[in-house]
Structure 1
Amino acid sequence: MKPSGPLFTLLAGLLLGIFMLSLNATTGTRATSSSNDVTPTQTPAAPSPSTAPPTSPSPTATLPADADYAGRTADDSASVAVSVRDGKAIGYFCDGRSRESWLKGDVEDDGSVALSGTDGARLDGVLRAGRIDGTVKVGDRTLQFTAAPAVKPSGLYRATAEVRGAKIVGGWIVLQNGRQVGILNRDGKPAAAPRIDPASGAVTVDGTRLTARPVVP
């Protein structure tokens, strides 16, 4: 039997089409694979500048305000006064009979007070809440005390002079209630001091009029 020409032609075309489809599929897969294998070069991001927070300035230390303080020891046997000016302080301990001590030193920024006097006398305290709390050592005794703000005429007073050939040194503490405690030394011999006029500081010693003045460092 003689093969049909059109059938042969159709089969040949079908085989060619299948071959071309297979070739295109293979070529496309390779092209896609090739494009996926290429990793684009990435430029690393520049590091951002440091943004550390600014350093806060240290707080400025503040000295305790200038003021005067007066009070009593815990056993009510003596008085204590302290005058503060520009970080310096003068203190006075007095029992109004025979024992006294003048002390001086510094007031620290935190309000601590450390004053010293003759013969090992010492006053240590802390200035806070508007008053001074601490201890005072005079001789063989150490006493606790509290001193509150002293507004004139209360406060610490002192007078020095020569009267009838004797050296006079007087110290007075005027408390907030008007009570006065003081010692008058005549050539180093202590005795209870006469009252002063707080308004003027006037005081009479052995018939001589003197002036007691507020004490400041």
Structure 2
Amino acid sequence: MKSSGPLYTLFAGLALGLVMLSLNATTGEGASPSGGAPAATAIPSPAPTRTTAGPSTGPSPSKPAAAKTSYAGRTDDDTAAVSVSVRDDKAVAYFCDGRSKESWLKGDVEDDGSMKLSGKHGAELTGTLADERIRGTVEIEDRPYAFTARKAVKPSGLYRATTEVRGAEIDGGWIVLPDGRQVGIVTRDDEPSKAPPIDPETGAVTVDGEHVTARPVVP
């Protein structure tokens, strides 16, 4: 009788193979077709977030500065000159006789063009802006001066210089009339006198030997 050892070995190998096939069938669902590691499951990426552009919050364009307009003319009695510088609803005026009497005044301009400006020592200017001219009255030292000041084209207009020259406080005012004439006063430590002429193109003027620059007056 032949030995049965090889048959047992063969049956044992077949049984082991069947067990392995059963295990593969149970656990191999995620295996790749090539028998490698299970394929990674793709995770869908989130949909892009849509943003709605709102109104710009950045700085808005700056408002352009309002243009300044000057007016210059003589009093009705031709003894003095008056100039008014206007920007928006503000005005600065200068009354000057070119010798010793002067006054700086300031105030508001109403929507209808009327204005009432005030200065030191009770000085007052009342007038109305219309048709590119100002018609009104300046009252200085209890005396009224009627005037008409027409729109001035540069270099005509109102100029001022404040500085110190040779230890004295200098305050100079100039009115350049449309015909080129100049009327002005320079006050040295509260002592007024006739002003030297300025160069209306540059504002340059020499006061007591010193070079000074007079600048257009802006409200």
TM-score (normalised: structure 1): 0.70
Contact (CA 8 Å) 2:68, 2:218: kept in 1 or not?
Answer: no
Structure 1 runs (4+) deviating above 2 angstroms are none
Per-residue CA deviation, residues 135-173 of structure 1 (Å, 9 max, x unaligned), is 000112101000000111000000011011000000000
Q: Cα offset for 1:66? A: 4.0
Partner of 2:175: 173
| 1:188 maps onto 2:190 in alignment | yes
Separation in 2 of the partners of 1:65 and 1:139? 33
Give the counterpart letter for 2:165 in structure 1: V
Q: How does 1:2-151 map to 2 (within 5 A)?
A: 66-151=68-153
Give the counterpart letter for 2:118 in structure 1: S
Separation in 1 of the partners of 2:76 and 2:207? 31
Q: Match of 2:129, SS?
A: strand
Separation in 2 of the partners of 1:119 and 1:96? 19
Separation in 1 of the partners of 2:67 and 2:157? 16
Partner of 2:12: none
Give the counterpart letter for 1:114 in structure 2: K
Gaps (5+ residues) in structure 2?
1-65
Q: Percent identity?
A: 69
Partner of 2:24: none
Gaps (5+ residues) in structure 1?
1-63
Q: Match of 2:121, SS?
A: helix
Separation in 2 of the partners of 1:130 and 1:93? 19
Partner of 2:25: none
Q: Cα offset for 1:109? A: 0.3
Q: Match of 1:134, SS?
A: strand
The structure with the largest helix share of the pair is 1
Q: How many residues align?
A: 154
Q: Match of 1:119, SS?
A: helix
